[in-house]
Amino acid sequence: MASQGAQYEGTDGTEDAAPEPPEAAGGSGNGDAKAPDPKVAAAIAAAEAAGPQGSTTVRVDSWIWSVRLVKTRSMGATACRGGHVRVNGERVKPAHGVRVGDEVRLRHEGRERVVVVTRLIRKRVGPPVATQCYIDNSPPPPPREAVAPAGIRDRGAGRPTKRDRREMERLRGVTGPGSVSGPGPVPGKGFGSAPGKPRP
């Protein structure tokens, strides 16, 4: 107990006040003068150390993967090749270099992301650090109620029949390998009848 009391005693023998929590020291507590989390600060320093050495650009497919806009780097390269990534309004290839201040637009998983580059990194970082590397100007995602679920079956309805499956595929706009888009069978020609013989 003496050691606990000693840590609050000043040099003159009086008790000092306990240290203030960060919210009280910062003022309003809304994050205006809030010091960054030490773990986030260390991760940001590591990300800056892993940034481009002696270069002012980073490949766009590597950057959008590093800041967690896509799950894998190959998905980023595929999005670039498909024309879903624009830098400053122009479609770019995966090897295009991005600089600080560039606007990157990415259409991925039915949503458009619009971000402004604030930090260049090459290695993937965690979400708290990734949000420090760009300014997000993306439009808000559509509400869940606006996205109509296609092909949701009632619980306990059993396995869907072939007709149910075709209806679900039609609602989704998917044509599977077994779907027939051409004309139906020729009248009078059954599958079981021999060629040239009339059906009885």
Our CA angle for 82, 83, 89, nearest 5°, is 165
If 0-12 CB within 10 Å is exposed, 13-18 middle and 19+ buried, where does residue 134 land? buried
- Residue 31 confidence (pLDDT): 43
- Residue 126 confidence (pLDDT): 87
Q: What is the pLDDT along the chain (200 residues), one digit of tens a residue?
A: 444 444 444 444 444 444 444 444 444 444 444 556 777 777 767 666 666 666 688 999 999 999 999 999 999 999 999 999 999 999 999 999 999 999 999 998 888 999 999 988 888 888 888 888 899 998 887 776 655 555 576 788 888 889 988 988 888 777 655 555 555 555 555 555 555 666 66
CA 72 to chain centre: 10
pTM reported for the whole predicted model: 0.53
- Residue 54 confidence (pLDDT): 60
* φ/ψ (deg, to 5) at 90: -110, 140
